[in-house]
C-alpha cells in the first residue's frame, strides 16, 4: 500500500468521521469498511446479526464490551471510536481467511497514535475550556496534526514493506 493510497483513503473518509463535544469519535460504516478493506454490507450484516445469531465479528465486538443493542444502532448512528478499533483489530488478526493486510497495517499504525486522537485530529477538534472535566495529570505534548498524519503514513508504508 503506497503513501498516496493511504492518503486517498483518509481523505475519502474524513467527512464520515464526527467528534462530539467530549471528544469521542464516530465513523460511518463506509469509513470503517474502507479502513478494514471490507464491504460495508458485511459490517451491516454483522451488526444486525448481533441480537439473534451473532456473527464472529459481532461476537468479537461484544467481547470488547459492547452489547447487541448497541451494535444494531451503529448502522444508523455511526460506529464509536472504540468499536471501530475492535472492527479493525478483528479484520487484522481474528477473521481467519477474511483477515485483511490493510486492516493489519491500519491497526498497527493506530496502535501508535490512537484512533480517538486520530479522529479528533482529522476533524480539527480540540478540548475547549467550556467542556471542563475533572483535572487529570497533563498528557505529554503531541506533535502537530500534520506531523501525526505524516507519522501515520510513514508507519503504514514501513509496515507495508515488512509484509
Q: Is residue 11 part of a domain?
A: yes
Residue 1 has pLDDT above 80, yes or no: no
Q: Is residue 133 part of a domain?
A: no
Per-residue cell: 53: 445469531
Query: How long, in residues, is the chain?
Result: 163
Q: Is residue 13 part of a domain?
A: yes
Measured distance CA(59)–CA(50) in Å, rounded:
7
Work out how many domains the chain is built from and give that number: 1
The mean pLDDT of the chain is 82
Question: Who contacts 143 (Cβ-Cβ below 8 Å, separation ≥6)?
Answer: 151
Q: Is residue 29 part of a domain?
A: yes
Q: Is residue 137 part of a domain?
A: no
Q: Is residue 148 part of a domain?
A: yes
Q: Is residue 135 part of a domain?
A: no
Give the residue numbers spanning the domain of 21: 3-125+142-162
Q: How many CB atoms lie within 10 A of CB 21?
A: 10
Q: Is residue 40 part of a domain?
A: yes
Q: 147: pLDDT confidence band, cut at 50, 70 and 90?
A: low
Measured distance CA(163)–CA(148) in Å, rounded:
23
Find where cell 464520515 sits.
16
Model pLDDT for residues 36-87, shown as the tens digit of each residue = 999 999 999 999 999 899 999 999 999 999 999 999 999 889 999 999 999 9
Our measurement of the distance from residue 22's CA atom to the centroid of its chain's CA atoms, rounded to an integer in Å, reads 17
Q: What is the reported pLDDT for 136?
A: 47
Q: What is the reported pLDDT for 154?
A: 64
Amino acid at each position: 500500500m503506497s503513501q498516496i493510497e493511504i492518503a486517498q483513503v483518509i481523505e475519502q473518509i474524513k467527512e464520515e468521521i464526527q467528534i462530539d463535544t467530549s471528544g469521542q469519535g464516530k465513523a460511518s460504516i463506509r469509513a470503517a469498511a474502507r479502513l478494514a478493506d471490507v464491504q460495508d454490507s458485511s459490517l451491516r450484516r454483522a451488526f444486525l446479526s448481533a441480537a439473534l445469531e451473532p456473527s464472529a465479528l459481532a461476537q468479537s465486538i461484544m467481547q470488547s464490551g459492547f452489547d447487541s443493542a448497541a451494535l444494531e444502532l451503529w448502522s444508523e448512528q455511526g460506529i464509536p471510536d472504540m468499536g471501530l478499533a475492535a472492527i479493525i483489530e478483528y479484520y487484522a488478526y481474528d477473521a481467519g481467511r477474511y483477515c485483511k493486510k490493510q486492516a493489519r497495517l491500519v491497526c498497527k499504525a493506530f496502535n501508535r497514535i490512537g484512533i480517538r486522537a486520530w479522529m479528533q485530529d482529522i476533524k480539527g477538534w480540540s478540548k475547549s475550556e467550556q467542556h471542563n472535566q475533572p483535572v487529570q495529570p497533563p498528557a505529554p505534548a503531541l506533535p502537530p496534526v500534520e506531523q501525526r498524519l505524516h507519522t501515520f503514513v510513514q508507519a503504514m508504508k514501513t509496515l507495508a514493506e515488512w509484509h
